[in-house]
Structure 1
Amino acid sequence: MISTVSSQVAEVSFTGPFDLDASTRFLEGFTPAARPDAAAEPGVLRMAFPVERTWSHAGVVVRQRAPDRVEVEVFAEPDVVPFAVTQVRRMLSLDVDGEGFARVGAADKVVAGLQERNPGLRPVLFHSPYEAACWAVIGHGIRIVQAAGIKRRVAERFGREVDVGGVPLISFPTPEELLEMDSHPSLPPAKVERLHAMARAARDGLLDAETLRAKDSAEALTRLLKLPGIGPFSSQLILIRGAGHPDVFPRDERRLQDEMARVYGQGGAVSAAKLERIADAWRPYRSWVALLFRTEREIRTGEIGGRRS
C-alpha cells in the first residue's frame, strides 16, 4: 500500500441535472470497472487511479453536497491534487454543460423516456483514455467477464494499492509500471506488446484526454486508429468513454445500433445511415444519449454486467 497522505478537499460545481448515486449504480453494474464490495457505500463514490500527466496514483472520495455541486476528497501528494480533481470532473462528465440535455428529450420522445427512466445519469468514463485503450486491448476477442478478471489481476500484480480514506483500493498500473510487465499468464505475447504500445502512447501524450477532446472528433479518431491493435470500435470507445467527448455517435457499436433499431424501427429493419440521421438530432449530446441506450439494453440483456458475453 502506498504511504498514507493527508487529504485535500475540492468542490466541483456543474450545470444541468446530475445524480452521483446514479453514477455509482452504473459503475456497480459495469463489469469493466471491477468495483470491489469494499468501495460500496451509500452516497459515496470511492476510486483509485493513475492520474494523467503526473502519472502518480491517487485515491478520491466523491460526495454530492448539492444538486449543482460535489465534494472531491483527494488522497495524493499536493501537486497531484489539481490533476486528480480535473480527472474526476471528466470521469463523471461534470466538465460538460448539461443544461441543454433536456431539450434533446423535448424533441425526441424516445430520448425523453430514456431520461425519465435514468434521471441524473451522465456518462461515467474509464479513468483515462489510457485505461480505456488497455481495456480495449485486453478485451479484444474474449468475454467481458474474462477480460475484467484479467484487467483486475494485471492491476493487482503491477499497479498500486491506495489507501482511500481507510479503504484499500487497487489502482491500475501507470504507463511505466505497465511497461515492467514482460508477460502475463492470461495474456498472449501479442496483447502484452500492444499494452506496452498503449503505455508508451500514454507516456508520450498521444492518449492525453484534453488533447483528444480539443481535436475535431474525426481527426482524433484517425489519430487513435494509428495505435497498434486499435480499430474503429476501440477508437470510438477511447474517445467517448476514455476522453469523454460528449458528441460522438458510436457508429461501429453494433449493440447500440441493434437497440436503436429495436426502438425506432418498431420491429422493422432500419439502416445504419438512418440511425445516424436519427442521432444527429441528439447533438451536442450524442455520446450521452448513446449511454442511456446502452444502459437500457444492459438492464434488458445483462451483457455489460457480464451475464452474457
Structure 2
Amino acid sequence: MPTFSLVPRGPFALSAALRFLADFTPAAHPAEDDGVLRLAFPADDGLHVVGCAVRQPGDAGAVRVSWTSDGAAPAAVRAQVARILSLDVDGSGFPAVGEADPLVGRLQAEFPGLRPVCFYSPYEAAAWAVIGNRLRMTRAAAVKDGLARTYGETLTVAGRAAHAFPVPGVLRGLDPVPGLSAVKTQRLHALAEAALDGRLDAAALRALPPGKALARLRELPGIGPFGAELVLVRGAGHPDLFPRAEPRLHEVMARAYGLPGTPDALAPVAARWHPYRSWAALLLRAGEGRVRPAAG
C-alpha cells in the first residue's frame, strides 16, 4: 500500500481522536484496540473510494498513513485525510488560547492533543444532517451505517473490514433510501447532485466568508442553520466558527461563564478563542460534564 506522513503543527494525539470517535455516535466507529485509526470514505472527487490506516507511534511526531483506492489522486487523498484529522491547520497557537482562557486551558489538559475529527467530507456531513433530522441519534446512526454496509464499498483496512458511505452517484440512485421517508430520500438525492456539481467542495466553502458559506449551504434542501454549521465546521473543517445554532454548547458556555445562554451574549467569549473557535467549542462539548458553574 502507498504511504505518506503528516507532521502536526502544534499538539495532536491520535489516541485522542480514537477516543473521541468511539463516543461520537454519527461515526459508528468501533473502539480500536491496536491504536490504528481505520477510515473508509468517498473521495472528495465524488467518484472513488479510499481506505486508510492511520498510525502515530507514541502519540508523538509524524502521523503515518497507509492507503488504498480505486483511482483517487494521491495528493487529493493526502489533503482529505489531513482535513479529516484537522492536521491541515497550524495548531501551534492553540495552547495560547488555553493560556488566555483558563477553562479552555483545563480542557486542553484533560483532552491532550484533541483536535476536531471531521466527517470525511461536506457531502457526508450534509447527508448526516438530513438523515438525523427528527430521528434519535442512535437510530440515525444505524440508518447511516446500514447504507454504508449495503450500498457503500467494503474495504479491508489494516486487516479489518471498513465500510464507506455510498458515493454520490450511488446515493442518488437509491429510491427509496431504506429507513427514511420520501422527503428525506429526495433531499439526499439533491445533496448527491450538489456534491457531484461541486457545491459541497470543502476548499471552496472554507475560502468564502463564513456567513456567505453558511448562506449557500442553507440553500440546499434539508439544511437549516444547525446543519449548515455542521457541514462547514465538521464537514469542511473550518477551524474558526462560533456555532450560533448549537443550544447545548450555549448551555455549557452560559453555565461556565455566568452569562445568558444566547449566541449574542456568548459570542464575545468565543471571540477570545480566535482563530480556533471551532476547536475550543469542541472541547467544551467534549468536556461538558466537567464544566463547573462560574463562581459568584
Structure 1 length-normalised TM: 0.90
Match of 1:147 in 2: 140
Deviation of 1:270 (Å): 4.4
**Which of 199, 211, 216 is residue 204 of structure 2 equivalent to?**
211
Match of 1:282 in 2: 273
State the secondary structure of the residue aligned to 2:177.
coil
Match of 1:261 in 2: 254
Counterpart CA distance in 1 for 2:112 and 2:23 is: 17
Match of 2:39 in 1: 47
1:247 aligns with 2:240: yes
1:8 aligns with 2:7: no
In 1, are the aligned partners of 2:260 and 2:266 still within 8 Å (CA)? no
In 2, are the aligned partners of 1:56 and 1:80 still within 8 Å (CA)? no
Q: In structure 2, do the counterparts of structure 1 residues 77 and 272 end up closer, same or farther at CA, with 3 Å as the change threshold? A: closer
State the secondary structure of the residue aligned to 2:54.
strand
Deviation of 1:273 (Å): 1.6
Amino acid at match of 1:41: D
Alignment of 1:1-309 (within 5 A): 7-36=1-30, 40-53=32-45, 55-65=47-57, 67-77=60-70, 79-265=72-258, 269-297=260-288
Percent sequence identity is 48
Q: In structure 2, do the counterparts of structure 1 residues 288 and 272 end up closer, same or farther at CA, with 3 Å as the change threshold? A: same
State the secondary structure of the residue aligned to 2:96.
helix
How many residue pairs are counted as aligned between the two chains?
A: 290
Range moving further from structure 2, 51-60 or 185-194: 51-60
Deviation of 1:68 (Å): 3.5
State the secondary structure of the residue aligned to 1:49.
strand
Amino acid at match of 1:121: L
Counterpart CA distance in 2 for 1:114 and 1:30 is: 18
In 2, are the aligned partners of 1:16 and 1:68 still within 8 Å (CA)? no
Counterpart CA distance in 2 for 1:275 and 1:219 is: 21
Counterpart CA distance in 1 for 2:105 and 2:65 is: 31
Counterpart CA distance in 1 for 2:290 and 2:99 is: 24
Amino acid at match of 1:246: P
**CA-to-aligned-CA distance 1:176-231 (integer Å, 9 cap, x gap):** 01012110341000000000011000011000111111111111111101101111
State the secondary structure of the residue aligned to 2:56.
strand
Range moving further from structure 2, 40-49 or 23-32: 40-49
Range moving further from structure 2, 184-193 or 66-75: 66-75
**CA-to-aligned-CA distance 1:275-308 (integer Å, 9 cap, x gap):** 11110110000000010011112679xxxxxxxx
Counterpart CA distance in 2 for 1:253 and 1:129 is: 18
Counterpart CA distance in 2 for 1:42 and 1:277 is: 42
In 1, are the aligned partners of 2:50 and 2:72 still within 8 Å (CA)? no
In 1, are the aligned partners of 2:48 and 2:72 still within 8 Å (CA)? no
In 1, are the aligned partners of 2:49 and 2:70 still within 8 Å (CA)? no
State the secondary structure of the residue aligned to 1:245.
coil
Across the aligned residues of Structure 1 and Structure 2, the Cα RMSD in angstroms comes to 1.6
Range moving further from structure 2, 273-282 or 64-73: 64-73
